[in-house]
Structure 1
């Protein structure tokens, strides 16, 4: 379909968007052309003989692409290509970032045990729905992920509400993701947003943070101690100020993209429509918050009960794709750690945000909690890390130092391979240690390099 049509006999371009088709000097131009096209169709005249060609992409490419007109029930005017290959010329090629998001959604869902596929066509009566990535969740739940990035154009994707409503009508929960702030501010569906990142960063197994589109609901009583203004007031000091009822206020929360994919498929994160006095918002919340919100709507005279539920997620050990909030320092690492081969695991709050179901009220706090005090080696007491890690890092740094003193190209090549193998061994050990102790792998590696490469201070006499 296209909005610009070339009339071969009138020798003019027709823009189907405005009522006058871009030619106010010709009244009733649409009625005349559309009535003529319908008469051609009734007489069986081929599309190639109806005087209408694509006047946009096809004409610019030097291709004669014949078209016919169509009028939707909602009054939308459309020009349809005769051949499918001409229609495909108007479809923008999928960007590398878009492909990376599709691969990441499938990988994250697969790790949670949820199968899926990309570019899925679902038959709906006489038409069909095409979904970027369709994930099959629990209890017959289907999540249809649609990715709209910066390449979608300044005006953004059109007919989002219509596409989302059609998906919902046929049992698919729409999940639209973007990297544009203006798209994320729309409320035609539940939008989520991450930072604008290159494809290789999106595709890697780091922690991709969703910075918009997920909310935590704060439930409160409207009395003189309330921190929020009463939703029933008019905002100018007149009318109802404190109604005494209970309300809910959505507050933004970050969530990891992989957790969002898995938990929407599992049903622990669900879409809601939140109504205010002036507008309707659409976003994602935990299923516990959704249930409490339903209770509040049924009876706003009492506070809905807090539903005790086990947290369905944990902080990730992977290096963050977006910005980390905390960096491990000597003060944040305990004085002792279990040995790499075994021992009691310690629970440290890593730099990345916890799962979306967390009820943390102060996201900036990152306390360290230890369950027990195992025995420690002297190296652990001095550095906070096992002696094995320190020795491996020093060995890798030693191989790198030897490389700098070589002049022969063949010797440098062999030494570079030795250095790469030593560095890979360090990374493998750091990854295993971070996994066993529930720490952030990137922060552990950074702390290890800082310990090894910082010269010891000589005490003054």
Structure 2
């Protein structure tokens, strides 16, 4: 609600705190305007077309915010905003920290070659979508950043899910950022969180770390060797599952990669709760493959880029944990377990004999310098995949798919061990191995 109203037809401001609305030269002005507004309402005229707009904070911010009039039983006159986000503009002041985040998002997006702007209003039918900062990314991506900091109030922003759904419906990917842990634990949209920092720290170019809202997916086989409990509530189902693990990311990288489409939002259901967070595009593709009945094995996740020293001074505040137990439950209700190490090859996928796997003839391999064990494992995995493609029966395909998954998992584990023992790049080693087995003539 607001006390100053702008009449678009009469071109005057109306002060509802005054009996004459601030225009003593026009007696009966309130009665005339109030009756006209009620007549508009009775005829179904949209609020946006009733000649009344907010003449205070919204007009100062350059925003056209439609309003309608209301008369309380005690005689109090009120002008009510049509949209909740316009109302929140009066109750939640734009803080210096909020402005610093907007400036930082725009600076990072511009440096990366993307276009962006703040306080963007997008027309949607007869209403509007207002975005704190809108970044125009690659391939038509539109990332709508909404910043909600500690000054937003104890209850937090209202109608977040409705606003996020409205943005998604109109081609805007919502990205809500906060510095409060209670906001970040909500599942109404994709929240990210950083430490509570002053504006001058947020605005500078140092590293600003996102401590919540970004995750890495750990894909694992639900067998007797798994360390995670089966999410289906059985002892061991024999299928593959994914478990999200919290992972820090720099805020600038988050802005760049969401605009580029290499960090994307996902929805992950656990029990009756749908959790929303951000992952890499590779993890989302692997998750979609896992959820589908596709015959494509989720590709091996590329190793993380080795950590290196940053030239920038960190802007995050160090905080000591309350205990030695990682604080995972505050951001995602998953039982914490240690990271699962790769099992031995003999336990994961024993190499099938030619009579069992019925492999087709292999081309003559040229010397590559790779161990025979790696070549044999890769050939076994390729043979299992070839058999899978030749089956039509659903049960047989399901059994053969498990054989293929285990064989491919054995290859990946063996490649990882060999790369670590020799100090080699795992990605390049795996690429060389597949080239040697599948295309030996090109070597």
TM-score (norm 2): 0.53
Q: 1:220 to 1:87 in 2, by over 3 A?
A: closer
* Aligned equivalent of 1:176: 176
Counterparts of residues 172-211 of structure 1 (less than 5 Å):
172-211=172-211
The CA deviation string for residues 335-384 of structure 1, in whole angstroms up to 9 with x for no partner, is xxxxxxxxxxxxxxxxxxxxxxxxxx79xxxxxxxxxxxxxxxxxxxxxx
* Aligned equivalent of 1:162: 162
Q: 1:301 to 1:242 in 2, by over 3 A?
A: farther
Counterparts of residues 165-314 of structure 1 (less than 5 Å):
165-233=165-233, 240-299=234-293, 304-306=298-300, 308=302
Do 1:246 and 1:303's aligned partners in 2 also have CA atoms closer than 8 Å?
no
Cα deviation for residue 125 of structure 1 reads 1.5
Do 2:180 and 2:196's aligned partners in 1 also have CA atoms closer than 8 Å?
yes
User: What SS does structure 1 have at the residue aligned with 2:277?
Assistant: strand
The CA deviation string for residues 23-55 of structure 1, in whole angstroms up to 9 with x for no partner, is xxxxxxxxxxxxxx96795499xx9xxxxxx9x
The CA deviation string for residues 156-198 of structure 1, in whole angstroms up to 9 with x for no partner, is 0000000001111111100000000000000100000000000
2:142 equivalent to 1:148? no
| Unaligned ranges ≥5, structure 2 | 3-15, 17-36, 48-53, 58-66, 72-77, 320-338, 341-443
Q: 1:310 to 1:321 in 2, by over 3 A?
A: closer
Mapped partners of 2:133, 2:245: distance in 1: 28
The CA deviation string for residues 71-128 of structure 1, in whole angstroms up to 9 with x for no partner, is xxxxxxx97269xxx9698343310000000011111111211111111111112111
Q: 1:300 to 1:40 in 2, by over 3 A?
A: closer
Do 2:195 and 2:317's aligned partners in 1 also have CA atoms closer than 8 Å?
no
Report the aligned-residue RMSD: 3.8
TM-score (norm 1): 0.51
Counterparts of residues 324-339 of structure 1 (less than 5 Å):
none
Q: 1:222 to 1:129 in 2, by over 3 A?
A: same
From 300, 308, 317, the equivalent of 2:311 is 317
Do 2:194 and 2:212's aligned partners in 1 also have CA atoms closer than 8 Å?
yes
Mapped partners of 1:193, 1:88: distance in 2: 21
Point out 4+ residue stretches in structure 1 off by more than 3 angstroms. Answer: 37-44, 86-89, 299-303, 307-316
Mapped partners of 2:235, 2:148: distance in 1: 41
Mapped partners of 1:180, 1:147: distance in 2: 11
Mapped partners of 2:110, 2:304: distance in 1: 22
Q: 1:228 to 1:309 in 2, by over 3 A?
A: closer
Q: 1:168 to 1:315 in 2, by over 3 A?
A: farther
| Unaligned ranges ≥5, structure 1 | 3-7, 9-36, 48-53, 58-65, 71-77, 234-239, 326-360, 363-461
Mapped partners of 1:42, 1:279: distance in 2: 42
